[in-house]
Copies of this chain bind each other. A is one copy, B any other.
């Protein structure tokens, strides 16, 4: 076994290998050694040796026309990533960093048909909210911020099918009551990229929500910030909304979602 020390502090060969896989992954056509050499500005002989190693590792496959495509070995890593990565754990790791919202309640939900299920909640220390969120609690999706965010990913005809028997009984005087009003709300959510529940779940409580996406850009969780109306009056609404969107974006990136570069928040 080769146990020589590498002299470089960083590993340029490893970086280049990863860049080759990135270029092959992004390309609309299958690339040759010359294409890769040109694209990466790396000498052809160097690309040749890196590609040979990647083929041996089954990270690349050499096609009959001497171009390359990704190899099956990458699936080992993605399967393991999916097993090791858990949105609730990541949520717990970031919520303490959200120092911008000291008085807020932050919750994480998953969708289960017409309901959302709370899988994590950090309730504000001295909450005067009329509602305490507990893990395992269920609420109708139509009234909650995360539920509305989930529903905004569904086409209108699926929403109509889901609520073919009508919407659930209203919880407050402001709960949405008709499919048409719900669909109008969802259109706004799709446009704005966040959702809002203004006293639809409980009187005196306002929530802002957004969805967490997985590597296939499917919504796998919802994150929301809940404020009592008096706290909301004191804080800057745009700051709260930015914070919710940032949490959702960071969690999505962490779960492997392929977001546009300007949407991505790197950790730290």
Q: A residues engaging B (CB < 8 A)? A: 1-6, 8-18, 21-22, 24-26, 41-43, 45-46, 49-50, 52-54, 56-57, 59, 64, 69-81, 84-85, 93, 215-216, 253-258
Contact = CB atoms under 8 A, between A and B. Distances in A.
17 contacts: A1-B41, A3-B41, A6-B50, A8-B49, A9-B52, A11-B14, A11-B53, A14-B16, A17-B17, A25-B80, A64-B93, A70-B84, A72-B253, A72-B254, A74-B81, A74-B256, A76-B256
Contacts of A12: 2, 4, 6, 13
A43 B75 contact: no
Contacts of A254: 72
Contact of A26 (B1, B17, B46, B80): B80
Contacts of A49: 6, 8-11
A80 B24 contact: yes
Contacts of A59: 18, 77
Contacts of A16: 14
A47 to B, nearest CB: 10
Most chain B CB atoms below 10 A, which of A2, A10, A56, A76: A76
Contacts of A41: 1, 3
Contacts of A255: 72
A16 B1 CA distance: 11
A71 B78 CA distance: 9
A72 B81 contact: yes
How many copies altogether? 2
Given A46-B6, A53-B11, A70-B84, A258 B64 contact: no
Contacts of A253: 72
A168 B209 CA distance: 50
A45 B81 contact: no
Contact of A21 (B2, B4, B77): B77
A48 to B, nearest CB: 9
B78 A74 contact: yes
Contacts of A6: 12-13, 46, 49-50
